[in-house]
Structure 1
Amino acid sequence: MDQMRWYAISREFNDVVRVWDEWRTTLRKHPCTESYNIVMGLYVQVGKDSDAVRVFRRMIEEGALPNCRTYTIIIEHLVRTRKLDSAIELFHMLPHVRIKRTLKQYSVLVEAFTIANQLDVVKVLLDQMRSDGILPVRAMLWSLQQMQSAGYDAETNELLRDMLSDGRIKMIGYSMDSSEDDSDDEDEEIDGNNTNAVDQPHLKPWLDPASLANALQNWGAEEVSALEDANLVWTTRLVCKMIRSFKSAETAWQFFCWVSCQPGFIHDIYTISRMITKLARQGCVDLVDQLLSKVEREGIQLSFSTIRLIIDFYGISRYGDPALRVFKKH
């Protein structure tokens, strides 16, 4: 697999296929799904559409299961060939075949339909993105600004406020954290460093969420006091990254409760989804139940992907009854 990836990055198409064929002869069953994705993606890049279809059909016939990256490749190809109706139709089908919709898929479709000036479709995509608990990345900034210019203020103001500079933040230097993809999915990373569209400032380089979370692992009175004295401006994106970075779900929960009391911050679908999956991953059933009850009382609709993750994590931890309870209730 590593050789295939290396050759794919350098666009050595023949070497990728050669390594794949050699690898297949050593296996008793089909290779992993990602190997099909690499070959199919390369066929698409060089315009060999029929060969790409053949690889996809071969994947199905040999018993390999397509994943979200497989469908991302197909969606990108449909967008590239200007078959936007087919691309959006496939995208809407994914939850019905239990495939997670990803940040990369949303990014590709939002950009394509913005360029095509089909802003009503972009509005629907943004609504679905929020429902799935996925935050937009800066690569979507141009699309959001086009939406705002067209009068879609209600749909874009909150997202743009989180992506653009906050007057309370002293902006100097560049952020050390280049990753904008907060999703725990198998899809490609989104380039969050593309700032050509807007000349925007960045957070101070010392504000690294992973390092900050690591320093707060004990969550004692001294650490909390120092955090309060720092007077940080808590945004949805920063809180999501903090929750993801905590090693302990209990510590993440303490931070989650603490930050909810900070001036100007309110938990939303993004932070709640992140916290619930963090707790479910580590088998914190009681805390998950508390959050699910809160979500139900406040009328917040969790995405299919979040519910599926809760059930999957419960299954891994062998919490059958809680998993069944969540399944029946949602």
Structure 2
Amino acid sequence: MSRESLFGALILAGIGGVALGAHLLDEPFTVTLATRAAILALAAVGLNIALGIGGLVSLGHAVFFGLGGYAMGVLASHAQSFTPLEIGPLSLAGTKSMPVIWLTATLAAALAAIPIGLLALRTSGVYFIMITLAFGQMFYFFSISWSAYGGEDGLSIYVRNGFPGLNTLVPIQFFSLCFALLSAALIFAWALRGSRFGLALNAARQSPDRVAAEGHDPQRLQLWGFVISAALTGLAGALFADLNRFVSPTMFSWQMSGEIMVLVILGGVGRLMGPVAGAALFVTLEHWLGGLWDYWHILLGALLLVVVLFARGGVMGWLAGEGRDG
């Protein structure tokens, strides 16, 4: 096992250990913090597929995070009010079943990523960044005006959704679900990176002309990477909304997109465990520094600057012993 893999496994186990220890000490708030870290890490795992493997710098992944959240909110609110969900001529029942909500959130994010990706991938560089950012702002302002589901005030879900055999209102049980999904996503990302598709996607990032010469369509590879990335981020959005039992337009905001990207950069772009390290560090700083100073983001920005300048490969690269020039 490499040094990077060892430290990555320790960080992942550390999140689980903190949650278990907090549960045994009857500290539900700390369990909730660990759950938040696991969910944000899952969202960052999604972005890391597009950014780290495909080289797609997306500032609009909050679109998929928010779609996942609103998929949960809309379905759960109709189940909560015992009213059907009207979609054109269709009349569907709401649901409080987590597996159904997860599937809906994942599909909604993936389907939305297809037209967004098709349009954005007609460009590259800063233009790709701006188009994805524009889509994020479009969804943000749409959700503000969507008065049927709370508009600017958001939508509250009074009881957390259910999973067969578990009491999801118990913090450690809900954490276990989120941690299991994060672990599954990491295994999936590891398998994807070493698969033929993952290798072709990485090649499309480095040399699209050579990939095209081999008979592959680099834009199609990037589109499917973008869709897969969006699906994982949408799943994280549904979990995040369930954690808070609340969904609001802020899930679509450009700040949310930036936060997910910061997690990837802090942990290490393209590193398998980078999102986990970035999320754990971010939530820790948010909790400790946020209680000391209202402007703690200044310190986060300084840390991000140090990581970008001196820690090649982010926190995981630094732990692996890679310096700026190494």
TM range (shorter): under 0.3
Q: Greater helix share, 1 or 2?
A: 2
Give the TM-score normalised by the residue count of structure 1.
0.25
Q: Which has the higher Rg, Structure 1 or Structure 2?
A: 1
Give the TM-score normalised by the residue count of structure 2.
0.25
